[in-house]
Amino acid sequence: MTLRQRIVACELCPRLVEYRAEIARTKRRAFTDHTYWCKGVPPFGVRSPRLLVVGLAPGAHGANRTGRVFTGDGSGEWLYRAMYETGFSTGPEAVHARDGLRLIDARITNVLRCVPPGNKPVAAELDRCRPYLVEELETYGRLRVVLALGKIAFDSLLKAWPQTGRAPFAAGLKFAHGAEHRNDDQTVTLLVSYHPSRQNTNTGLLTRRAFNAIFRRARSELEA
């Protein structure tokens, strides 16, 4: 099976399989007539990206409903608008998986492919999902910039990276919004941002200006 097929079919984490099904049964009032995806959510974008955006997990009523990463929820509204304004997306909105939206020179993925209760995965679930991320990182030969959204994505990415055979990043890197790190052979730049979750955007911890600046930095790296 392809990577996409294996992610969609994955049932390695019983807690997550049960929870994603529960969400699909109970639904949200606004989506009572929707058929939820309720499976592992694969990456989205061009097959050989120069920019890889790495998030945490599908949203309960976003990607767990639509089947496409960061699609159909508030976090996706922030992400795709920022990507559109910096030339990485053909449109500023992601409503459903067949809306015609395309990414440009970019791909989006998550470190966990199923929605976790309370957006809080346990370590064993992240460990089981990590081989998918490793395989992605090994496959993207043109990769120049990786953007980690949130601390869990940042930490998970750094755990996956040594398994790819790529030149390493320095040991002991710490999460900080706006941080930049280059691996030892200077081939890949790691950018770091707060996750565009409502918890961060509604409180003002993450502003659109600060978020868009990260994507402008990614664009600058690719044009250097």
Percent of the chain having pLDDT more than 70? 100
Calculate mean pLDDT across residues 53-73. 98
Domains of the chain: 3-223 (3.40.470.10)
- The 10s digit of each residue's pLDDT in 63-72 is 999 999 999 9
pLDDT given for residue 60 in this prediction: 96
pTM: 0.97
pLDDT given for residue 224 in this prediction: 82
The average confidence (pLDDT) of the chain is 97
Percent of the chain having pLDDT more than 90? 99
Between CA 53 and CA 178 the distance in angstroms is 14
Starting at the edge strand found earlier in the chain, the sheet holding 180-182 runs 44-45, 106-110, 51-55, 145-149, 189-193, 180-182
